[in-house]
Amino acid sequence: MIRYLARRVATAVGVLWAAYTVTFVVLYLLPGDPITTMAGGGLDGEPLTPEAIEALKVRYGLDQPLVVQYGHRLGEALSGDLGTSIQNGQDVRTAILEALPPTLQIAVGGLLVAVVLGGGLALAATSTSLRWLRQLLMALPSLAVSLPVFWVGLMLVQIFAFGLHWLPSVGASGFSALVLPSTTLGLPMGALIAQVLAKSLTTVLEEPYVQTARAKGVGRAAIHLRHALQNAAIPALTVLGYVAGNLLAGTVVVETVFTRPGLGRLTVQAVGVQDIPLVQGIVLFAALVFVGVNLVVDLIYPVLDPRIAKGVPATS
């Protein structure tokens, strides 16, 4: 178990380093730099003088060689210092923490929608005895996965906000303002969970021990929940870890569609002005969430099947 945990932690550290390095390289390969971008209008609306531009480059270390900048910023990141936003001079950690609560609200809501809808649809599709209904339910996830997130959001706004006037279309005040963004974020992810879980359940339900349970007169619901679901949950749990880790990426589109504050809109603003420290801080935070969630998922695997930690392949 210790070796299993050590491998997973080492992988997580490698992912964090790769995310930080790739972001650094990509941002510096873009034409121009944030100081030049600000030079057009200045920090206070006036164009910056060449002297002011050079002073800002020295202040933010942009006058140093690229390798020196990378080593300096990486060392600061390892000590917990993510730097200062070039756009507004705010501490990057403070900016992220201030933008996090609204994003966390719709991320948790989207995850809840994904788990409830995806799990419920998979259980319903594999438990019904009606063939036409099973085929219909199994086809729904493929349709939902193919729909663009922004289109889903716009359709929900058109129907429930503009058409029925049940829910607000914009804003971040109150529970009602969370319903449409969370549903928009959760629908495609729930469809992915439903696809994987339904396929896994279909396979597990053909196993000999399930057939034996049926022969003993065990009910359909008990077979699903007590016998099949635990073994079928491992592939779905993998997808759930991927889904949860990518929730922050989905908020970029959702917060734009619903005009909500949060990390998504902060990311768009930071990329627009090439605010390197802020973009790197956000990417590093998102990567930390991703590897953290997947590390938790990796630790749950041995609970569902102890053979995983021992490196023994799961067989029927």
Asked if 246 and 114 count as a contact pair (C-beta separation under 8 A), the reply is no
**Angstrom distance (rounded) from CA 164 to CA 181:** 17
The predicted pLDDT at position 40 comes to 52
What mean pLDDT is predicted for residues 144-154?
A: 83
Q: How far apart are CA 259 and CA 315, in angstroms?
A: 49
- 233-259: average pLDDT: 79
pTM for the whole structure:
0.74
Q: What percent of the chain has pLDDT over 70?
A: 88
Instruction: Give the Cα separation of 150 and 132 in Å (integer).
Output: 31
| Domains, the chain, with CATH or none | 2-78 (no CATH), 100-304 (1.10.3720.10)
Q: What is the pLDDT of residues 97-119, one digit of tens each?
A: 988 888 888 888 988 998 899 88
* Residue 307: predicted pLDDT: 58
Nearest to 35 by CA among 52, 20, 23, 18: 52
The pLDDT value recorded for residue 253 is 82
Mean pLDDT along residues 238-259: 79
**Alpha-carbon distances of 109 from 10, 113, 228, rounded to whole Å:** 31, 6, 27
Least confident among 44-53, 61-70, 119-128: 44-53
Contacts of 169-174 spanning 24+ positions with Cβ under 8 A: 169/258, 170/258, 170/259, 170/260, 171/258, 171/259, 171/260, 172/102, 172/105, 172/260, 172/261, 172/262
For residue 5, what pLDDT is reported?
A: 74
Residue owning tokens 């989905």: 250
Does residue 282 or residue 276 have the better pLDDT? 282
Report CA Rg, the chain: 24
Cα 73 from Cα 280, distance rounded (Å): 10
DSSP annotation string for 236-266:
HHHHHHHHHHTHHHHHHHHHHHTT--SHHHH
- Pair 169, 162: CB distance under 8 Å: yes
Query: What residues pair up with 91 in beta bridges, in sequence order?
Result: 84
Percent with pLDDT over 90 in the chain? 1
Q: Which residue has the tokens 């600061």?
A: 76
DSSP single-letter state for residue 234: H
* Residue linked to tokens 């941002």: 27
pLDDT of residue 309: 54
- Are the C-beta atoms of 281 and 93 separated by less than 8 Å? yes
Are 236 and 200 spatial neighbours (Cβ–Cβ below 8 Å)? yes
Interval 4-28 mean pLDDT: 82
Instruction: Give helix 131-145 / helix 92-127 axis angle, nearest 10°.
Output: 160
Q: In angstroms, rounded to a whole number, what is the distance separating the alpha carbons of residues 316 and 310?
A: 17
